[in-house]
Structure 1
């Protein structure tokens, strides 16, 4: 139809064009939909028309990912300006209610280009970790507490305990909902399409790796967290009836190793599918300096972690996505010149479990590896990011090259394509 200003408005999308949950699997356009995905947190940044934007690079990255069978991207939608050195800058939110339209239009550009390639996107709306400002920056704004940088303090237990105060801060929660509404109700400045009607959004996600607190989270803290997941997910559904909503949880590692808490947080009808992450090096299962001596232990624990969460998904009757996993380069080294034999071996182990269990009909809906580095390159001898450097898969809290898959990592790319093709071949 012709709108008031003469713009041709597309007919509303059919419900089947959106990704939906069918029993314990995803469906799209009447077909089974399995994710072979990448984490691409900086995609909206590259889409900006000026400043940090690199639109030519973005198009190249999307084409390269599409070529190896990647059909889903997990992308940071919102970041908060902060004084912390290990956080990305600029940010989409400069202060409460002050949004950077250049960066948000970059997200619009990303979504327009994703649509051309018929890929889908998971957009996360906050971060438990400091590398995008996140929850600790909200507390800085509204509680007046320091924005804690665990890269500086090295005290993650205190960081997690204090950051969980975000869920209990009425002022922070009110602002968070305003930010959610500003994104979910946004109209794409490139396509003219409301985000709520964009069939290339797979889901909204509450945050990257939300946790109830630290490893000693109290029953009260756990209860607050479960309530927060339910209520925020419900709020998003109230704004947008078309899209799925997910939590962004790491699984048991993000649930104080409490399986009941993980089930309770995801039991609500407002959470449409489960998520989990796998980090054998970060969790001290694997020592990169002693790969031979720690490999068997790491793989045994990884297999158990992967399979046990699929069983938890069965209990709730919902799909689950392994949306983060990674391992560093041989050496260990951050250099792009270092080989990736151990990482490739790890990826194959992970892909084999995901694809085999998916083919059996188990509720594993796919994977997103961490993370796409593409054509980005580390700029500094110490491998730490500084403003103005390329964005890669590793955010500023980590060395650039730690977990990134670059466009020159041929063996890794071929491996991803092999298993992407296998997942895409599953019929239901």
Structure 2
């Protein structure tokens, strides 16, 4: 790991700064008109762990460890529908203890200077998701035939809108700040990995995205909004179809370019899972895919969409054939170096969020992708180096005041030397 040039850490010191909302300026994120490039992570189960006092400490532990390596954004669930420890027990009926647990997550994130992307529902059913909404609809007597009715049925859409309103207008019981006014929240996410297989044309999902993006913005025009997409190209860009990881990807009802052109959407989201999409056997082909997948989305975000793109999930599973920790580090390095190449020229690569960061002692939650920093010193060093480099970019305005030409060569060597 490189040692940063003398005095680097002074530049990112924002302890005295007012905690302000993240905004978008062109195809870059800014805070108080300073660049804000993101090095972050996912830990989806924070709310559920915060409910029980015996596990609540793990929430603080995740944030403390993330902060120690300079991570600044966490993506987590602001939903749990009709399941064990449900936040929403039935449409518009909430468990106050679970809501207070989410309050704790938000307040604790602020304590460690970590901002949150809060996802509002799941495409998948582990935490209820759209399947649970359809179950509720059937209980109410609706004639529903598919989970994808979630996207088109007016009653189910009203259930979702009511949930959006409940979250955005919630007054945090720890901070007394309404969620829609809290700068701790980086962005809202409409849905984790939306897919609508019943309509490969993409029209059904597109209509839902447009309706819900506008709805979120009518309640909260200040926070950023993203969709939660995996990044698959669809019918609107036939010339990009070959960039998809497989032929199935173009049939799931999503359309990267068209979806992100919906009014109210502020930045693009992309996920990166070559081991799920291409092959569960580890190979160099995965790394080539990661680089090309990122580069094409960065280019499209910049030249077509005019917005930042965040690679909101990326990782590799230890259950993959041929997996080892060295390959994981190489994959993470590929993501980080590809982003730095964009950052260096002021491109649309807004940041990345590792899937996923775990504290020690939560192995029973591991989906194969867990990174425990205390057990992974090489990965921890790599994350820390990326954080430091992005912190320098985020301080460029200050640097113009504090740094002379004599420092420039040392700074460039640290920023761009390819030793991730």
> Is the structural similarity TM-score above 0.5?
yes
Aligned mate of 2:49, from 33, 38, 46: 46
Helix, strand or coil at the partner of 1:369: strand
Once superposed, what is the RMSD of the aligned Cα atoms? 2.5
Corresponding residue number in structure 2 for 1:270? 264
Q: Shift of residue 329 of structure 1?
A: 2.5
Q: Does 1:24 align with 2:24?
A: no
CA distance 1:260–1:134, shift in 2 (3 Å): closer
Q: Shift of residue 324 of structure 1?
A: 0.2
Give unpaired runs (5+ residues) of structure 1. Answer: 1-13, 83-88, 146-160, 380-391, 393-399
String of CA shifts for 1:300-344, please: whole Å, max 9, x gaps. Answer: 2221111111112021101100000110237759xxxx9511111
Q: Shift of residue 34 of structure 1?
A: 1.0
Aligned mate of 2:200, from 187, 209, 218: 218
Corresponding residue number in structure 2 for 1:152? none
Distance 1:253 1:131 in 2: 26
Q: Does 1:63 align with 2:64?
A: yes
Aligned mate of 2:371, from 383, 398, 405: 405
Q: Does 1:356 align with 2:341?
A: yes
Equivalent pair of 1:162/1:213 in contact (CA under 8 Å): no
Corresponding residue number in structure 1 for 2:122? 127
CA distance 1:95–1:260, shift in 2 (3 Å): closer
String of CA shifts for 1:218-249, please: whole Å, max 9, x gaps. Answer: 32xx1121111111011111111220111000
Distance 1:303 1:104 in 2: 39
Aligned mate of 1:414, from 368, 378, 381: 381
Equivalent pair of 1:286/1:298 in contact (CA under 8 Å): no
Corresponding residue number in structure 2 for 1:151? none
Distance 2:382 2:233 in 1: 27
Distance 2:170 2:71 in 1: 26
TM-score of the two chains, using structure 2 as the length reference = 0.80
Corresponding residue number in structure 2 for 1:372? 357
Helix, strand or coil at the partner of 1:140: helix
Equivalent pair of 1:128/1:210 in contact (CA under 8 Å): yes
Distance 1:95 1:174 in 2: 13
Corresponding residue number in structure 1 for 2:73? 72
Equivalent pair of 1:39/1:324 in contact (CA under 8 Å): yes
Q: Shift of residue 15 of structure 1?
A: 11
String of CA shifts for 1:88-137, please: whole Å, max 9, x gaps. Answer: x3221111222111111111111111112222100000000111110011
Equivalent pair of 1:285/1:297 in contact (CA under 8 Å): no
Helix, strand or coil at the partner of 1:355: helix
- Give the 5 Å matches for 1:219-298: 219=201, 222-252=202-232, 256-257=249-250, 261-287=255-281, 291=282, 295-298=283-286
Q: Which has the higher contact order (CA 8 A, sep 6+)?
A: 2
Q: Does 1:300 align with 2:303?
A: no
Matched positions, count: 359
Distance 1:250 1:171 in 2: 27
Give unpaired runs (5+ residues) of structure 2. Answer: 1-16, 236-248, 398-420
String of CA shifts for 1:113-168, please: whole Å, max 9, x gaps. Answer: 111222210000000011111001111110359xxxxxxxxxxxxxxx94322101
